[in-house]
Amino acid sequence: MVEHGDIVFVDHPKYYQKALLSAATIIIIPEELLVPEGKSLLVHPKPFDAFNFLLKHFAAEQTLKDAWIHVSAKVYPNVYLGKNVRIEENCVIHAGAHIADHTHLESGVIIGPNSVIGYDAFYYKKKPEGYDRLNSSGGVHIESNVEIGALCTIDRGVTGVTRIGKGTKIDNQVHIGHDTQIGTNTLIAAGCGISGCVEIGNNVTIWGQVGMASGVKVHDNAVILGQSGVTKNVPEGAEYFGTPAGPSKDKYTELVYLRNQVKN
């Protein structure tokens, strides 16, 4: 998520105002515009390429340290640990897991077999010659007593941190995209695909095979029923269902109406 002091890029007029009104301090943009107070513009004909250059340049200057593992943590065979990894007390990392650079696991975290924590963001720009990948230099922070099942993937932030809140439980084969923020004591069932830059609150329940579009926000205590496609924000305490997802009572009413129309 963008914070004060960050630098972002924007290369389409549709998103100029969103970038200018964001918390970012520096915006790379292809044309001169009125500069909001407290911000700076870097005008460049190819903002994506300029941003990628800065990521690669400053990532190369980072001094990476070996992984730090608390003596009480249990790391099974065939686990890969990257640089600047921190694993605190009583963590359990099962066989075959890949814990990439800049990952922090707080106490009591469990990582299931063959899960990948901290892989690069799925972020590309389409060019005439093909897709150009956006470099990732961020990390993953998993708070205490989080459990992550087998064959899950949690992508690291592009420049910031993908965060999983305290006490959250994630089932097998779940994907969580870059820079997503998940609150405390949230439950995510198997087969869910959560895009990048999603915000999920505290005590949220997400049942199996739910898909979420980039940038949506799910507020505290919400419930998303299985096989739903979430494309818009979900209010606090709401129960959503369907594709596109909406209040479950409304969706059930729609299904009953459609079924009656078929019968008639």
If asked whether residues 181 and 96 sit together in one domain, one would say yes
Catalytic residues: 178
User: pLDDT-based confidence at 61, cuts 50/70/90?
Assistant: low
If asked whether residues 226 and 106 sit together in one domain, one would say yes
Q: Alpha carbon of 61 to those of 25, 56, 135, 205: distances in Å?
A: 22, 9, 14, 41
Percent of all residues in the chain with a pLDDT value above 70, rounded to a whole number:
98
Q: List Cβ<8 Å contacts ≥24 apart for 223-229.
A: 226/189
The confidence score (pLDDT) of residue 55 equals 86
CATH at 134: 2.160.10.10
Does position 57 have pLDDT exceeding 90, yes or no? Answer: no
User: pLDDT-based confidence at 5, cuts 50/70/90?
Assistant: confident
Residue span of the structural domain in which 38 resides: 7-60
In the numeric block, which tokens belong to residue 253? 């009413």
Does position 149 have pLDDT exceeding 80, yes or no? Answer: yes
Tell me which DSSP letter residue 70 carries.
-
Of 38-47, 60-69, 215-224, 251-260, the least confident: 60-69
If asked whether residues 194 and 84 sit together in one domain, one would say yes
Of 76-80, 124-128, 176-180, 185-189, the least confident: 124-128
What is the C-alpha radius of gyration for the chain, rounded to an integer number of angstroms? Answer: 20
CA distance 170 to 103: 17
How much is the pTM?
A: 0.90
- Contact by Cβ (8 Å): 74, 91: yes
- Contact by Cβ (8 Å): 247, 230: no
What element of type H or E holds 57?
Answer: helix 47-60
If asked whether residues 209 and 80 sit together in one domain, one would say yes
Does position 30 have pLDDT exceeding 70, yes or no? Answer: yes
Does position 164 have pLDDT exceeding 70, yes or no? Answer: yes
If asked whether residues 84 and 180 sit together in one domain, one would say yes
Does position 215 have pLDDT exceeding 90, yes or no? Answer: yes
The confidence score (pLDDT) of residue 56 equals 84
If asked whether residues 75 and 41 sit together in one domain, one would say no
Provide the number of structural domains found in the chain: 2
Q: Which residue type occupies 41?
A: L
CA distance 107 to 87: 8
CA distance 201 to 20: 26
